[in-house]
Amino acid sequence: MAELHDLTALEQGDLVRRGEVSPLELTDHYLERADRLDTVGAFVTLTPDRARDRASALTEEAFLSGPGESSLFGVPTAIKDLNLTAGVRTTFGSAAFADFVPDVSDGVTLSIEAAGMVSLGKTNTPEFGSPCYTEPDVAPPAVTPWDRTRTAGGSSGGAAAAVAAGLVPVAQGSDGGGSIRIPASCCGLVGLKPSRGRISGYPMYGDPVGLATAGPIARTVRDAAALLDVLAGRRAGDPSWAPPPAETFLASCDRDPGSLRIARFIEPVIADVAVDPDCVQAWEDASRLLESLGHEVVDVPVPLPPEAVPVFEVCWAVLTALSVVPPEREHLLRPLTRWLSAAGREVNGPEFGLAIGAMRRHAADALTALAPYDAVLTPTLATPPVPIGAMRDDDDPAADFLAQKEFTPWTSAWNVTGMPAISLPLHWTAGGLPVGVMLAARPAEDDLLLALAAQVEAAAPWADRRPPGW
**Catalytic entry in 119, 155, 200, 412:** 155
**Catalytic entry in 22, 71, 80, 405:** 80
405 catalytically annotated: no
SS in 3 state form for the chain? CCCHHHCCHHHHHHHHHCCCCCHHHHHHHHHHHHHHHCCCCCEEEECHHHHHHHHHHHHHHHHHHCCCCCCCCCCEEEEECCCCCCCCCCCCCCHHHCCCCCCCCCHHHHHHHHCCCEEEEEECCCHHHCCCCCCCCCCCCCEECCEEEEECCCCCHHHHHHHHCCCCCEEEEEECCCCCHHHHHHHCCEEEECCCCCECCCCCCCCCCCCCEEEEEECCHHHHHHHHHHHCECCCCCCCCCCCCCCCHHHHCCCCCCCCEEEECCCCCCCCCCCCHHHHHHHHHHHHHHHHCCCEEEECCCCCCCCHHHHHHHHHHHHHHCCCCCHHHHHHCCHHHHHHHHHHHCCCHHHHHHHHHHHHHHHHHHHHHHCCCCEEEEECCCCCCCECCCCCCCCCHHHHHHHHHHHCCCHHHHHHHCCCEEEEEEEECCCCCEEEEEEEECCCCHHHHHHHHHHHHHHCCCCCCCCCCC
179 catalytically annotated: yes
**Catalytic entry in 119, 179, 252, 323:** 179
193 catalytically annotated: no
Residues recognised as catalytic: 80, 155, 179
